[in-house]
């Protein structure tokens, strides 16, 4: 979301789960990413090569939005359209369509009373944007079934020398129907505004499967009922004279289990009113 760093001047925008939008205010982010890799993480957390010169690829367009229903209550939506593919010396398969979609509410808290920390609780409903995968030989668009995610986040603004900065931390549990395992999730992000127009942002995202999945773990088809993933993202955010923000970054899995290991570039356009 957009936040003004409390007690820091000047104020800079950032995207973080611990803050809510003001009533009637909104944030829209359109993000495109790409990855293509011959590496994956096996069931023992080892990074390995796909056989027969295999490579998995992902192209994804993501619309993220927030809208302030009140100063404490924010509507959140996260919508994905994807193209997943896998190729090797003998085959080349892909599937395009809508992935798992997310919509929910975030409620602002005041865990530090009058102190610098803010917080929020969030509930997200997760539902598939696709029907049954009719061709088992192709990559899947999602894990199937629906889900509910409950998240608690805290954050604050601070000064790094003479530069405005923020930190945001959150933990969540995602409960799933169908064959996919439930998940524990955690995230931490921090941004530092080095100039009035440029901010550097670093993010660490962790997904831990809880081992209660009941389905295949076919990494080549992205069809994994129980997986772990730790991913790092680094980006730069530029504010244009008209107020739009442009973001360029790189994401890279660093640890995982039953999942792809490919990183890649991404770009995003932020708009708020």
CATH number at residue 131: 2.40.160.40
12, part of any domain: no
Q: Read off the tokens for 25.
A: 């205010």
Asked if 156 and 116 touch (Cβ cutoff 8 Å), the reply is yes
Q: What's the pLDDT band for 27 if we cut at 50, 70, 90?
A: very high
pLDDT tens-place string over residues 83-93: 999 999 999 99
Asked if 107 and 73 touch (Cβ cutoff 8 Å), the reply is yes
Read off the pLDDT of each residue in 217-223 and give the average, rounded to a whole number. Answer: 67
Q: What's the pLDDT band for 5 if we cut at 50, 70, 90?
A: very low
8, part of any domain: no
Q: Is the dihedral of CA 191, 195, 197, 198 positive or negative?
A: negative
Work out the end-to-end distance of the chain between its first and last CA atoms, rounded to an integer number of angstroms.
12
9, part of any domain: no
16, part of any domain: no
Q: Read off the tokens for 241.
A: 């004279």
Q: What's the pLDDT band for 215 if we cut at 50, 70, 90?
A: confident
CA atoms of 95 and 89, how far apart (whole Å): 19
219, part of any domain: yes
Asked if 55 and 88 touch (Cβ cutoff 8 Å), the reply is yes
Q: Is the dihedral of CA 188, 14, 1, 118 positive or negative?
A: positive
- What b-and-e string marks burial along 177-213, b requiring 16 or more CB atoms within 10 Å of the CB? eebbbbbebebbbbbbbeeeeebebebebbbbbeeeb
Query: How many domains does the chain divide into?
Result: 1
210, part of any domain: yes
Q: Is the pLDDT of residue 65 over 90?
A: yes
Cβ contacts of 257 within 8 Å, gap of 6 or more: 41, 42, 43, 44, 45, 209, 227, 228, 229
pLDDT tens-place string over residues 117-147: 999 999 999 999 988 766 667 888 888 889 9
Q: What's the pLDDT band for 222 if we cut at 50, 70, 90?
A: low
Asked if 125 and 105 touch (Cβ cutoff 8 Å), the reply is no
Read off the pLDDT of each residue in 214-228 and give the average, rounded to a whole number. Answer: 76
Length of the chain in terms of residues written: 273
For 213, phi then psi, to 5°, come to -75, 155
pLDDT above 70 coverage of the chain, percent: 91
Q: Which domain holds residue 122?
A: 26-272
Give pLDDT, residue 110.
82
Q: In what order do the strands lie in the sheet with 47-49?
A: 47-49, 39-41, 259-260
- Name the residue with tokens 């803050």: 19
Asked if 31 and 267 touch (Cβ cutoff 8 Å), the reply is yes
Mean model confidence pLDDT for the chain: 89
Give pLDDT, residue 221.
60
pLDDT tens-place string over residues 155-211: 999 999 999 999 999 999 999 998 899 999 999 999 999 999 999 999 999 999 999
Highest mean pLDDT among 13-17, 64-68, 175-179: 64-68
Give pLDDT, residue 267.
98
Backbone angle region of 45, left / alpha / beta, with phi > 0 → left and psi within -120 to 50 → alpha: left
Give pLDDT, residue 143.
84
Distances (CA, A) of 38 to 102, 123, 235, 263: 29, 36, 24, 11
Give pLDDT, residue 136.
67
17, part of any domain: no
243, part of any domain: yes
């Amino acid at each position: 979301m957009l936040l003004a760093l409390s007690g820091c001047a000047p104020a800079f925008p950032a995207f973080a789960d611990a803050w809510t939008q003001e009533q009637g205010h909104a944030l829209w982010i359109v993000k495109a990413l790409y990855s293509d890799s011959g590496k994956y993480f096996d069931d023992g957390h080892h990074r390995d090569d796909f056989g027969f010169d295999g490579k998995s690829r992902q192209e994804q367009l993501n619309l993220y939005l927030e809208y302030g229903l009140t100063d404490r209550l924010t509507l959140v939506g996260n919508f994905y359209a994807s193209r997943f593919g896998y190729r090797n010396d003998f085959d080349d398969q892909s599937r395009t369509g809508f992935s798992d979609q997310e919509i929910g509410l975030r409620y602002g808290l005041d865990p530090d009373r009058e102190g610098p920390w803010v917080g929020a609780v969030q509930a997200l409903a997760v539902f598939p944007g696709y029907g049954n995968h009719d061709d088992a030989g192709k990559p899947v668009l999602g894990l199937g079934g629906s889900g509910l995610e409950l998240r608690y986040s805290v954050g604050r603004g601070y000064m790094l020398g003479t530069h405005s900065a923020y930190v945001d931390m959150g933990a969540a549990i995602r409960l799933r129907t169908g064959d996919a395992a439930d998940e524990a999730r955690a995230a931490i992000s921090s941004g530092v505004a080095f100039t009035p127009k440029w901010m550097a942002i670093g993010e660490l995202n962790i997904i831990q499967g809880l081992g209660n999945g009941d389905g295949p773990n076919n990494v080549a088809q992205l069809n994994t009922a129980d997986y772990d993933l730790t991913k790092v993202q680094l980006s730069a955010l530029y504010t244009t004279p008209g107020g739009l923000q442009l973001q360029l970054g790189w994401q890279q899995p660093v640890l995982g289990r039953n999942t792809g290991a490919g990183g890649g570039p991404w770009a995003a356009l932020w708009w708020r009113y």
